[in-house]
Amino acid sequence: MAGSSLSSEDKELVAKYFSGVGQLVDALGKELWAVVSSSLALARQNPTPFVSAVRIVEREEALDRALLAERGGATGGSRPLPAGRPRCWRACFFQVLEEAVSARFRSVSYLHTRGPGLAGHLSALQHAVMADLVTVRHLLEHCVPPHYQLTAAYLRASHRCLHAHLAQVSSWDLESGEIFAVLNWVLHIYNSQDMMGHPELITETERAELGPLISTEGLEQLQSKYVQSVRKSVSEWMHKALQVELQDWQRDQEPDTDHEGFYQTSLPTIITQMLEENTRVALMIGESLRDQTIQMGLYEIENLLNRFREALVEFGKEHRRDRTNNKNKFYLHYLLASISNCIILKKSTESLQQQQSSRSAGQFSRTPPNPLAALDRAVRRACRLVMDQLLLELQPFLPCLLTRPWLVQGDPVPKLCSVLESHLDLYGRVRPPCWQRLQEEAQWLMVVEYVRALMQKKLVCRSSEERRQLAQQMLQDDQLFREVFHSLESEVSVPEVNPLALLPVLADFIRLKDPGMLTLEISGLAAKYPDISEEHVSVLLDVRGDVSRDIRGAVLDLLEQSAPPLPAGYRPIFTDILVPPSTLAFCLPTAKCA
């Protein structure tokens, strides 16, 4: 008769008859599982109770198998299985073992798991796990049959508990140092020879088939949280560093200099050290985190440089407002220090970019950072402010240029040269290549202002002798300027358009004796300086004072017909020189012209 054919009365009778046995089995089970739960402690003191418990479990497993075999399986056979069979105590054994492992984890102190204490907590977990593994492998493993693979079972149980615990820890609002501790423990310590990678455990870990302690998605989230936390700290530090920089600009003394004599402040050192340290720490976790940290750092450098450029603009405005009070007499010096700082930051930025893996370029954002462009904008702004200051100091002497007193006495060119020399001397405190750039810009500014003075027609020649004197004085001025800029010509490559070369060309144009040759002269001038306009040429003809209407028309017609396009790489010079409008007398119909 099949077990399912018993009536409910028969089942109740059987259960009542064997109720005492069931109670005895439950009591025995409680004792067994208490022993199994304490197996780690018992193994170090007296493993006999544990051995006895395992034997009982194995005996019950054998009875389960025999009863199932006798009846052809748990659902077949002629007689029903005894109440409570199969007991599956071996499965219970491993379940209790895992619960015991979980309890061991909970016993490790959670009181100081935040902040610096998290690293200590993980270290305590490491030592607890490894100590238990030693006990399991060298003591308990010998107390159970080989097919139990007790070490592998303990590894699986520990792994599952650690997985759940670290998932909980990762969900907390962690600071960067805490996230670093978790990532370092998961990626390096857990799989190292100090833990699961121990030579004696390699076989067991392979047998246990342990998966990742934290999923790939979980690791990416942790790394993202780490980068965001570091970014907040970096942003705050950069803000503080910029505030210190702005305070330095107000000091009543020259900027500090490095061992090479170049101006500098503390800003680039603070920024560089901070980013390099963050990159080094991130690399301890892995290349991916390093690349994300570098990417973040490049964004923050770009943001800093944009704010730095805005600060330079405000610095220039403040100086212009207060220059009459001479509030900041080291204004120019700190502009030059800012340029040197940008050069240092450029080298640091390029070094960071080179440390990134090629595969990570543009991987973390649709809009990659562009700190070098921000650097270039900041440098150009600082250089512009330097040139503005140079022009401001030259301004008192410029109105006297190319006037009749200048033609007789030569003033004020020596004074202009004195200002230029003092500026060029200071530019030497700027790191190359920017000090060459500043000298080139100073040379360009001086020539533009000189030619602008010529275009104002303050001096119009009345004879061939005056044309000769004017050309001669221009050549003398050109020689003085060349002596000031001699270092520029000897130490840097000459630009495609050397602005100083313009002055002798204009002098030749003015002293040309035969006006009929002016057409040919203009043709050569336009070939060298294709941005020269009809207005410029018209003024030059006026300054000569001897050009007839016919020759003027022929010259201007030729210029209009030639008008070559600006070649690639050509820097316009006449474009920067506006020609003042002619001042013709305006006559009312009923009045006479004055």
Q: Does residue 490 register a pLDDT over 90?
A: no
Q: Residue 278: what residue type?
A: N
Q: Does residue 254 register a pLDDT over 90?
A: yes
Q: Establish if 279 belongs to a structural domain.
A: yes
Say if residue 291 is in the same domain as residue 356.
yes
- Residue 2 is predicted with a pLDDT of 44
For residue 524, give the CATH number of its domain: 1.10.357
Say if residue 424 is in the same domain as residue 552.
yes
What's the mean pLDDT in 406-415? 90
d(CA 301, CA 306): 9
- Mean pLDDT lowest for which of 244-258, 405-419, 558-572? 558-572
Nearest CA to 231 out of 305, 334, 171, 300 is that of: 300
Q: Establish if 75 belongs to a structural domain.
A: yes
- Retrieve residue 488's tokens: 């520029």
CB 402 within 8 A of CB 454: yes
CB 246 within 8 A of CB 266: no
For residue 348, give the CATH number of its domain: 1.10.357.50
Q: Establish if 235 belongs to a structural domain.
A: yes
Say if residue 352 is in the same domain as residue 499.
no
Q: Establish if 152 belongs to a structural domain.
A: yes
Last residue of a domain, one of 359, 384, 409: 384
Say if residue 7 is in the same domain as residue 132.
no
Last residue of a domain, one of 384, 415, 442: 384
Q: Which domain holds residue 72?
A: 3-92
Say if residue 240 is in the same domain as residue 171.
no
- Residue 583 is predicted with a pLDDT of 53
Q: Establish if 582 belongs to a structural domain.
A: no
Say if residue 539 is in the same domain as residue 408.
yes
What's the mean pLDDT in 549-573? 87
Say if residue 114 is in the same domain as residue 62.
no
With vertex at residue 542, the alpha carbon angle to CA 540 and CA 545, rounded to the nearest 5 degrees, is: 115
CB 132 within 8 A of CB 38: no
Mean pLDDT over each residue of the chain, to the nearest integer: 87
Q: Establish if 103 belongs to a structural domain.
A: no
Instruction: Give per-residue pLDDT as tens, 438-481.
Output: 999 999 999 999 999 999 999 999 999 999 999 999 999 999 99
Last residue of a domain, one of 214, 249, 282: 214
Say if residue 423 is in the same domain as residue 568.
yes
- Residue 368 is predicted with a pLDDT of 80
Q: Does residue 362 register a pLDDT over 80?
A: no
What is the pTM assigned to this prediction?
0.81
Q: Establish if 586 belongs to a structural domain.
A: no
Say if residue 376 is in the same domain as residue 482.
no
- Residue 562 is predicted with a pLDDT of 77
Say if residue 238 is in the same domain as residue 279.
yes
Say if residue 210 is in the same domain as residue 224.
no
pLDDT band for position 110 (50/70/90)? low
Say if residue 418 is in the same domain as residue 492.
yes
- Mean pLDDT lowest for which of 182-191, 261-270, 358-367, 419-428? 358-367
* Count of residues making up the chain: 594
Number of domains within the chain: 4
CB 262 within 8 A of CB 341: no
What's the mean pLDDT in 117-132? 89
- Residue 566 is predicted with a pLDDT of 85
Q: Establish if 101 belongs to a structural domain.
A: no
